[in-house]
Amino acid sequence: MQAWKAVVLFNLALVVGAGWGYAFWGVRAARLERELAAARATALSGVEREWTVEGVVRAIFPELNVLVITHGEINEFMPAMTMGFRVASPKIQEAVSVGDAVRFTVRGVPPNVAVIAIQKITR
């Protein structure tokens, strides 16, 4: 094969690869934009929502009215993670201890939610 043919094929492969990569990125970016717009619309709508999810209590801060919980995915709100949640009542914190597996309910207008109910579960 002559050198100029190899160079042409190499350049063609680069152009095709870059084109496919750019097209894939554009489709993915458009999908993420749609998802972000939907999330913003939900958050800005001011609609109070409620979710029940399972998790494990990691820390209790009674002076701040905060429970730190490792939880599973909260549908249409957030992925699984460890985070602090405000509690609606100090009695909620008194019902659990660090390390307890729990099922809890959060209510509010995202991202401003609070734990309104909690119960220990056995695994």
Q: What is the pLDDT of residues 31-77, one digit of tens each?
A: 888 888 887 776 656 788 899 999 999 999 999 999 999 999 998 88
Same domain, 68 and 111: yes
Contact status, residue 88 vs residue 115, Cβ threshold 8 Å? yes
Same domain, 22 and 55: no
Contact status, residue 70 vs residue 55, Cβ threshold 8 Å? yes
Same domain, 39 and 53: no
For 116, phi then psi, to 5°, come to -105, -20
Q: How many distinct structural domains can be found in the chain?
A: 2
Contact status, residue 53 vs residue 72, Cβ threshold 8 Å? yes
Same domain, 36 and 61: no
pLDDT in tens, 92-116: 999 999 999 999 999 998 888 999 9
Question: Looking at the whole model, is its pTM more than 0.75?
Answer: no
Query: Range of 65's domain?
Result: 49-120
Q: Which CATH number characterizes residue 115's domain?
A: 2.40.50.320
